[in-house]
Copies of this chain bind each other. A is one copy, B any other.
């Protein structure tokens, strides 16, 4: 196979682009593990930290299996179910034909069937494209994990994540990135404001509604457990986002650098806006670290659909607008109506859902046609993205709105169905006595294990009449099976 040669093919390959694609993908991977895992692990109550982190690690793994065996092709493969929907130039259908990404053929030049001719040929192999797209697919369920922590059954999580990734993520991705319907309509999403964040916010909210709220006691005592780890995760998120947005032009070109710069400008602006609003408008009139991290995330999410389309000025505007909007939603909406009823534990619907939607729509206003230009090969002329303020035309804004609503609708509907259907077979929610305890009841682990735990319980020894000092270590080992139940009850009585 020509592509298997070391170093690499002489045509259709650019080591610099391949290097950047793999690097960017790795930064995005770090956003999930350890980034989100420890950000969420530090934000939840102490009693839920282990469960939260294990949900993150397991989801990351599950999505990769799905992605390898059928998911990638459903998102970026040949069109499957098209209802004859045919759109000028491209835009065929809603989902790709499932297929595996195994085999040495993956070393061939990367290629997204429906985009052939619409963008220059890739300069790296299919494996690189596969992996880059995987880290995006993987982070999405980790994001809405923030909505369901503190009551969702771990078993249900293991079942739902693969289904969700297949039925929701792949479809959203195909419609907008894979050359599906909305791509054909001209809707754009630079690196996932819709496909990832709007979708995660929607899914999280619906999931939280179906699951019901956490224990009253947990909602009342929902203090984080470790702000140092929140900062660790947050920092990795910010800088990792350079790969998130910088990798999406698929080339290490000027637009990649511009996307990185815009990402940071919008984020800095949003962080400061949130911090200042906390300072001036919050009840306590104090700037807070967790508030600033919220603002930071809002900025990162908002710029995501726009990173390479807007210029620096646009990036600042997006940061200001979106941060203010989400801040208001967070303070004014959250305590009210359905937003108070539905227990979106970490507020994913605000910092990801609303922020992602803002960003997607603002592309329709602020996209600067001079930022990126696709040299059309294969017949089609070259095109670029221009928003209302530059082109005076509403078209972009309208298709952005259409795509956004489609994502919300499809994601909400399917998430609801998936949870309901799975709920018929397994309990979605942990029983209350387990919720009382948390990690200990679910995993027999605590995030900060007490150091006096011992393999040789005194009273047992006393009862057994043996001095623990001399009994062999195995004893303790074999003690386990004898009291699996006690572990449960014992734990829940100790929460």
Cβ contact of A4, chosen from B62, B221, B372, B477, cutoff 8 A: B372
Please encode chain A, from 94 to 136, with 1 for each CB lying within 8 Å of some chain B CB and 0 for all others. 0000001111101110000000000110011101101100100
Contact yes or no, A258 B127, CB < 8 A: yes
Known A23-B23, A234-B33, A261-B127; contact A57-B271, beta-carbon cutoff 8 A: yes
Contact yes or no, A15 B20, CB < 8 A: yes
Contact yes or no, A17 B15, CB < 8 A: yes
Instruction: A391 to B13: give the CA distance in the assembly, Å.
Output: 30
Cβ contact of A293, chosen from B25, B57, B288, B449, cutoff 8 A: B57
User: Which residues of A453-490 have CB atoms within 8 Å of chain B's CB atoms?
Assistant: 453-456, 468-469, 473-474, 476-477, 480-481, 484, 487
Contact yes or no, A34 B254, CB < 8 A: no
Instruction: A50 to B227: give the CA distance in the assembly, Å.
Output: 7
Contact yes or no, B57 A312, CB < 8 A: no
| Distance (whole angstroms) from the CB of A101 to the closest CB of chain B | 6
Instruction: A274 to B267: give the CA distance in the assembly, Å.
Output: 39
Contact yes or no, A107 B229, CB < 8 A: no
B-side contacts of A375, CB under 8 Å: 5-6
Please encode chain A, from 180 to 218, with 1 for each CB lying within 8 Å of some chain B CB and 0 for all others. 000000000000000000000000000000000000100
User: Which residues of A31-63 have CB atoms within 8 Å of chain B's CB atoms?
Assistant: 32-35, 37-38, 41-42, 45-47, 49-50, 53-54, 57-58, 60-62
Contact yes or no, B287 A231, CB < 8 A: no
Instruction: A335 to B477: give the CA distance in the assembly, Å.
Output: 8
Contact yes or no, A312 B5, CB < 8 A: no
Instruction: A20 to B250: give the CA distance in the assembly, Å.
Output: 15
Task: State how many copies of this chain the complex holds.
Answer: 3
Instruction: A26 to B261: give the CA distance in the assembly, Å.
Output: 11
> Is A432 an interface residue, CB under 8 A from the partner?
no
Instruction: A486 to B231: give the CA distance in the assembly, Å.
Output: 28
Cβ contact of A373, chosen from B1, B19, B487, cutoff 8 A: B1
B-side contacts of A373, CB under 8 Å: 1, 4-6
Please encode chain A, from 369 to 412, with 1 for each CB lying within 8 Å of some chain B CB and 0 for all others. 01111110000001010000000000000000000000000000
Contact yes or no, B26 A26, CB < 8 A: no
With both beta carbons as reference points, the residue of chain B lying nearest to A107 in the complex is identified as B254
Known A17-B16, A235-B30; contact A220-B455, beta-carbon cutoff 8 A: yes
> Is A325 an interface residue, CB under 8 A from the partner?
no
Instruction: A445 to B18: give the CA distance in the assembly, Å.
Output: 44
Cβ contact of A444, chosen from B271, B286, B481, cutoff 8 A: B286
Instruction: A480 to B278: give the CA distance in the assembly, Å.
Output: 13
Instruction: A271 to B223: give the CA distance in the assembly, Å.
Output: 31
Contact yes or no, B220 A19, CB < 8 A: no
B-side contacts of A33, CB under 8 Å: 231, 234-235, 238-239
Cβ contact of A46, chosen from B106, B271, B451, cutoff 8 A: B451
Please encode chain A, from 282 to 325, with 1 for each CB lying within 8 Å of some chain B CB and 0 for all others. 01111111101100100000000000000111001000000000
> Is A8 an interface residue, CB under 8 A from the partner?
yes
A-B pairs with beta carbons under 8 Å apart, 13 shown: A4-B255, A6-B119, A22-B246, A42-B228, A54-B288, A65-B268, A104-B311, A106-B261, A106-B312, A107-B254, A127-B260, A131-B257, A229-B232
